Each structure stands twice: as structure tokens, then as C-alpha cells.
Chain A
Amino acid sequence: MGGNRTAFLLAFLALLLGVAAWSALSYLAPAVKAPPPVELTPNLLPAPKPLAPFVLTDHKGAPFTNERLQGRWTFLFFGYTYCPDVCPLGLSVLSEVFATLAPQKDVSKQLQTLFVSVDPERDTPELLRGYLPYFNPDFIGASGRRDALDAFVRQVGAMYVIHKEAGDDNYLVSHTSTIFLIDPQGRLVGSFSSPLQGDHISATFLKIRTYLKGEEP
């Protein structure tokens, strides 16, 4: 009889342990993030990258800092207004993305596009003010002093090279043509590189948004 009782006690303890382990696991589970869908891996950073404090000047002459990234999904694109092909193309693609997502009000009210000019000598706020509304009246243009601009470009992981000869006012600028995605916490989370296609970017963005939302507590 005594042996039976011991066996029963042991079984009971084992059950308790099992329940405890199960509770602990289910408590910890949300912290273990499911891997992203394979289709998103080309567009997602391995981990979101917080952006260090920066100060640029927007097309209205107001400061554009990290705060302006809070609470919004930001599509970030680098370029310059003297750019004949790549920049109008990228901005047209983003304009299409905005048109595609416009009917989804809960999404579209959270979106913004930031066009950062890497050519502040020519791209004054005034010029950006005339340039961007052509693509979308809500697009934001920004640039800054060379040191502030370079710090921002570098931390995003972009590049640019100004090809200027003395006296040449129509010089060219090479620049990263990738569209970067910043989440509502102001963290760099993904990117889209060429070939840029509006429908692909819209669909992928929605999936990234859903995936990253699942990560939040």
C-alpha cells in the first residue's frame, strides 16, 4: 500500500512540474519571436535599428528630427532635384504606393514619405517646396548642413558622391537608390532596392507591418 502511495505522490509531483513548465513556457513564448516569412527576408533588417538623434531641415524650413518619425511609418528616399531619372522614378513609385494604400485609412493616415536631398547646395527648402508636391502634396523634403546630413546618411547606411568640377552648375550626384522603411518607433526596419515596383512595395510593406506588430507586447 505504501509503495502505491509513493507512486501516486511521484505522479502528482510530475504533473505539477509539467504544469509549471507549461505555464513558464507559455509565459515566455511571446518573447520568442517567430522568424519572418521567407518572402520578407530580402526587405527586413535582421533587427530593427534605432536611429541616433539627428536634425535636418524640412522643405518648410522647420527642423526635422527623430520626433517626426514617431507614430508613423516612414518611407525614406535619398536623391536630389537635379536628378533626371532615378529620383523622379523613385518618387513616382512612392506616389503610386501612397495611392494604392490610400483607401486603407488606418494604414494611410500613418504613412509619410521623407525625401532627403544629398545636394543641399542646390536643393534649398524653397526648391524642395516646389519639387515634391508634384509627386504628392504630403511628401516631406529635407536636407541639412553637410555634417548633419552626412551623419544621418551614414547611420541609415546610405551613400552619396558629388561629382562636381569647378564652375559646373549641372553636376551629377551618385546616391543610394534604395527606399528605406522606418517604423513608428523611429527605427530603421527594412528597405526596398531596385527594381522598385509600387505594387510590390505596397504589398510587402503591409506584410512587414503585420509581422512587426506581432512582435510588440
Chain B
Amino acid sequence: MKKAIGWAIALTLTTLGQAALAEGLSVRDPWVREAPPVAKMLAAFMEIDNAGLGERILTGASCDASAKVEIHDVVQENGMARMVPQASLSIPAQGTRTLAPGGLHLMLVDKSKTLVAGDMVHCTLTFQDGEEVPVMAPVKKATGSAMMDMGHGDMKGMEKGDGKAMEHGKGMEHGKGM
């Protein structure tokens, strides 16, 4: 009996929760990784939920900790990590986009102040349809247990890397990532 009541309450709460978000976008667990004081770049992570029936496109972001924010993805190729700027980011209908260490993140370019764990970074996500979603992201110290969940197989870089050409001064196609 107790169990049944518990289930009923859980169901009601879940339904209410979903109803409240029915139309829109919401952000879960946003955070900015604490970095050494001399670091120029910061990364922000979060989960973006789209409860709506249509796809939503994130086209940009701004934060009060840096003049510029870029959407980036990390791609692993032959054991090499490559940052790929994204012009936009699709949040599928009734789906979620996860920005997490080792993958998608917002790069806060040239931070404007030193941030330590516990500080709060205020950001605004801008979507293609003009909607703006405010986000309050606490600064957190990351632990080593965070996963770099990409790429497969060890020793790849060693087998294929030896003797490969290194290019200097080549421009990356900013904003053409997607």
C-alpha cells in the first residue's frame, strides 16, 4: 500500500514536472570548470533539454566571465584531440544535448576575471528563433574521474603518429564545424 502511494506521488510529480517544461528549453547541471589562475580559456558544461515537439538550434552564447563564447566539440582522430568550433548546435525535439568534458562545451575565450570554485558565471544561450535562456553556472573543481568519452583503442597515436607531418600556421575553419 505504502509502495502504491509512493508510486502515485512519484508519477504525479513527474507529470507536473514535465507539464511545467512542456513548451520549452531548459538547462540542467550547468557548471564551469575551475582552471589555474593563469589560464586564459574556460569551458562550461551542461545538459540542454528540449521538451518541445520541434528541433531547437543553439546559435550562440554569452557569459559574464569572458568577452566571447564559442560552441566547441572535441573530436578524436588517431589519438589526437581536435577542437571543432560549431556554428550551431541542434537540440532534438523532446531530446537532450549533453555538453560534457572531453566533448561538446562552451569555450569562454580570454576570461575576464579569475574564477574559483563556488563563484557563479551568468550566461545566456541564444537560439535560432530568438529565444534566450539564462543559465547560472557555478564554478567547480573537476576531479580526474571525469571521462574523456571519445575515441577508441590505445596506442593508436603511437602506431600512426610516428613521422606524420606537422603543419604549422594553418587556419582552422572557424564556424564551419557543422
Q: Which residues of A contact B (CB under 8 A)?
A: 42-43, 45, 81-86, 88-90, 92-97, 127, 130-135, 146, 150, 153-165, 170-172, 174-178, 180, 191-199
* B158–A154 touching, CB < 8 Å: no
User: How far, in angstroms, from A92 to B33 measured CA to CA in the complex?
Assistant: 11
Q: Please tell me if B38 contacts chain A, counting CB pairs below 8 Å.
A: yes
8 further interface pairs, Cβ-Cβ under 8 Å (given A155-B162, A180-B158): A81-B39, A85-B43, A85-B105, A89-B101, A92-B144, A161-B170, A195-B151, A197-B147
* 15 CB < 8 A contacts A-B: A45-B158, A84-B105, A85-B33, A85-B74, A86-B81, A89-B101, A92-B143, A95-B144, A131-B36, A157-B161, A162-B167, A170-B109, A174-B83, A178-B156, A193-B154
Q: Chain B: which residue is nearest A165 at the CB level? A: B171
- Shortest beta-carbon distance, B120 to chain A, in Å? 19
B contact residues around A160 at 8 Å (CB): 80, 166
* A158–B145 touching, CB < 8 Å: no
Instruction: Give which listed residue, A83, A161, A191, contacts B155 with CB less than 8 A.
Output: A191
- Shortest beta-carbon distance, A101 to chain B, in Å? 12
Whether A159 contacts B164 in the complex (CB less than 8 A), given A42-B154, A170-B110, A194-B102, comes out as: yes
User: How far, in angstroms, from A94 to B145 measured CA to CA in the complex?
Assistant: 10
* B155–A177 touching, CB < 8 Å: no
Q: Please tell me if B72 contacts chain A, counting CB pairs below 8 Å.
A: yes
Whether A154 contacts B163 in the complex (CB less than 8 A), given A85-B105, A172-B172, A198-B144, comes out as: yes
User: How far, in angstroms, from A81 to B35 measured CA to CA in the complex?
Assistant: 10
Q: Please tell me if B54 contacts chain A, counting CB pairs below 8 Å.
A: no
* B144–A96 touching, CB < 8 Å: yes
User: How far, in angstroms, from A213 to B74 measured CA to CA in the complex?
Assistant: 37
* From A130, A180, A196, residue with most partner B Cβ within 10 Å: A196
User: How far, in angstroms, from A155 to B35 measured CA to CA in the complex?
Assistant: 31
Instruction: Give which listed residue, B40, B82, B105, B148, contacts A82 with CB less than 8 A.
Output: B40
Our count of residue pairs bridging A and B at CB distance below 8 angstroms stands at 181
Q: Please tell me if B58 contacts chain A, counting CB pairs below 8 Å.
A: no
Q: Which residues of B contact A (CB under 8 A)?
A: 33, 35-43, 72, 74, 76, 78-83, 85, 101-102, 105, 107-110, 142-151, 153-159, 161-164, 166-172, 174
* A175–B149 touching, CB < 8 Å: no
B contact residues around A146 at 8 Å (CB): 168
Whether A157 contacts B39 in the complex (CB less than 8 A), given A88-B33, A92-B143, A97-B144, comes out as: no
Whether A162 contacts B168 in the complex (CB less than 8 A), given A84-B43, A194-B148, comes out as: yes
Instruction: Give which listed residue, B85, B161, B174, contacts A159 with CB less than 8 A.
Output: B161
* A177–B79 touching, CB < 8 Å: yes
* A92–B157 touching, CB < 8 Å: no
Q: Chain A: which residue is nearest B33 at the CB level? A: A88
* B102–A85 touching, CB < 8 Å: yes
A contact residues around B163 at 8 Å (CB): 154
